[in-house]
Amino acid sequence: MKRIVLFASGSGSNVENIVHYFQDNSEVTIATVFTNKSDAKVLERCNRLKISSLYFNKTSFYDNDCILDILKGINPDLIILAGFLWKIPEKLVKNFPNKIVNIHPALLPKYGGKGMYGMNVHNAVKDNNEQETGITIHFVNENYDEGAIISQIKTKITPEDTPEDIAKKIHELEYEHFPKVIAQILHG
Binding site for ligand GAR (CB under 6 A): 8, 10-14, 82-83, 103-105, 117-118, 121, 170-171, 174
* 104 is known as an active-site residue: yes
Q: Which of 20, 104, 122, 171 is catalytic?
A: 104
What is the 3-class SS of 63-83, one letter each residue? HCCHHHHHHHHHCCCEEEECC
**Is 14 known as a binding-site position?**
yes
Task: Name the minimum Å distance from CB 79 to ligand GAR.
Answer: 14
How far, rounded to the nearest angstrom, does the alpha carbon of residue 164 sit from its chain's CA centroid?
20
User: Residues 143, 31, 186, 173: is their CA dihedral positive or negative?
Assistant: negative
Question: Is the distance from CB of 78 to CB of 97 less than 8 angstroms?
Answer: no
Task: Name the minimum Å distance from CB 93 to ligand GAR.
Answer: 16
Nearer to ligand GAR, 13 or 151 (CB): 13
Residue nearest ligand GAR, CB atom distance: 83
Starting at the edge strand found earlier in the chain, the sheet holding 28-35 runs 53-55, 28-35, 2-8, 78-81, 100-104, 132-139, 149-156
**Is 147 known as a binding-site position?**
no
Task: Name the minimum Å distance from CB 106 to ligand GAR.
Answer: 8
Active site residues: 104
